[in-house]
Chains A and B, each alone.
Chain A
Amino acid sequence: MSIINLTIDNKKVSIEKGQTILDAAKKVNVRIPTLCHHEDLCVAGNCRVCVVEVEGSKTLSASCAVPAEDGMVVKTNTPKVRNARKDIVALLVSEHNTQCTTCYRSMNCELQALSAEYNIDNNRYLSVLKPNIEIDRSSWSIEKDDSKCVRCQRCVRTCAELQHVNALTVSGKGKDMKISTFMDLPLNEAICTNCGQCVIHCPTGALTERRYFDRVWEAIGNEKKHVVINTAPSVRVAIGEMLGYPVGSRVTGKMVTSLKRLGVDSVLDTDFSADLTIVEEGYELLQRLRKALVENDTSIKLPMITSCSPGWVKFIEHIFPEHLGHLSTCKSPQQMFGALSKTYYAEKKGIDPKDIVSISIMPCAAKKFEANRPEMNDSGYRDIDAGLTTRELGHMINQAGLNFAELEDSEFDSIMGESTGAGAIFGATGGVMEAALRTAYELVTGRDVPFDNLNILPVRGMEGIKEAAIKLENCLPDWSFLEGVELKVAVAHGLINARKIMDQVAAGKSPYHFIEVMACPGGCIGGGGQPIPTNDEIRKKRAEAIYEEDMNMPVRKSHKNPEIIKIYKEFLKEPLGEVSHRLLHTSYKKRNHY
Chain B
Amino acid sequence: MGYKGLKKVDIIFDCANCEPLEVLKKALAMTPDQIIEQIISSGLRGRGGAGFPTGLKWKLAKAEKSDVKYVICNADEGEPGTFKDREILDVVPSKVLVGMAICAYAIGAKEGFVYLRNEYNFLLKDLNPLIEKFNKNIQNLGLDFTIKMFSGSGAYICGEESALFESMEGKRGEPRNKPPYPTKIGYNGKPTVINNVETLVYCTMIIRIGVEPFKKLGTSDSRGSKVFSISGDTTKAGIYELELGIGVDEFVKEFGNGDTKAVQIGGASGFCVPRKDFKNKIIGFEGVPTGGSMMIFNSSRSMYNVLKDYLEFFAEESCGQCTPCRVGTQQLLKGIEAIKRGEKPSSYLNQLLKLTETMKVASKCGLGQSVQNSFSSIVNNFREEMIY
Contacts and interface: CB of A to CB of B under 8 A. Distances in A.
Interface in B30-85: none
A170 interface: yes
Nearest to A89: B323
Nearest to A96: B327
A173 B318 contact: yes
A128 B315 CA distance: 12
Contact of A151 (B326, B334, B355, B358): B326
Contacts of A150: 323
Interface stretch (A59-67, A191-199, A533-541): A59-67
A67 to B, nearest CB: 7
A21 to B, nearest CB: 12
A125 B331 contact: yes
B321 A87 contact: no
Interface in A428-457: none
A64 to B, nearest CB: 9
Interface stretch (B197-205, B248-256, B262-270, B360-368): B360-368
Contacts of B94: none
B177 A66 contact: yes
A48 B331 contact: no
Given A46-B321, A175-B316, A177-B319, A65 B358 contact: no
Nearest to A80: B361
B172 interface: yes
A126 interface: yes
B364 A126 contact: no
B334 A46 contact: no
A92 B327 contact: yes
Interface in A152-208: 153, 170, 172-177
Interface string A83-108: 11001100110110000000000000
Contacts of A125: 331, 335, 351, 355
Contact of A177 (B321, B334, B351, B362): B321
B330 interface: yes
Interface of A: 43-49, 51, 58-60, 62, 65-67, 80, 83-84, 87-88, 91-92, 94-95, 124-126, 128, 150-151, 153, 170, 172-177
A95 B331 CA distance: 10
Contact of A126 (B320, B321, B335, B357): B335
A59 B330 CA distance: 21
Interface in B325-376: 326-331, 334-335, 338, 344, 351, 354-355, 357-358, 360-364, 369
Contacts of B364: 45-46, 48, 62
Given A48-B363, A51-B362, A80-B361, A173 B319 contact: yes
B323 A88 contact: yes
Nearest to A49: B323
B331 to A, nearest CB: 5
Interface of B: 155, 157, 172, 177, 179, 314-324, 326-331, 334-335, 338, 344, 351, 354-355, 357-358, 360-364, 369
Contact of B358 (A45, A58, A83): A83
A174 B329 contact: yes
Contact of B334 (A48, A87, A128, A153): A128
Contacts of A153: 321
Contacts of A177: 318-321, 326
Contacts of B179: 66-67
A88 B177 contact: no
B322 A48 contact: yes
The list of the 5 closest CB pairs from A to B, nearest first, reads A177-B320, A91-B327, A87-B358, A65-B177, A174-B318
A94 B177 CA distance: 25
A123 to B, nearest CB: 10
B331 A91 contact: yes
Contact of B331 (A58, A94, A176): A94
29 contacts: A43-B177, A45-B322, A46-B321, A46-B322, A46-B364, A48-B322, A59-B362, A60-B362, A65-B177, A84-B361, A87-B358, A87-B362, A91-B328, A92-B327, A126-B331, A126-B338, A126-B344, A128-B330, A151-B320, A153-B321, A172-B320, A173-B316, A173-B320, A174-B317, A174-B320, A175-B329, A176-B316, A177-B318, A177-B319
Nearest to A43: B177
B316 A128 contact: no
Nearest to A57: B361
Contact of A94 (B318, B321, B327, B344): B327
A391 B243 CA distance: 68
A129 to B, nearest CB: 10
Contacts of B344: 126
A103 B351 CA distance: 30
A47 B329 CA distance: 15
Contact of B177 (A51, A62, A91, A126): A62
A67 B185 CA distance: 14
A87 B177 contact: no
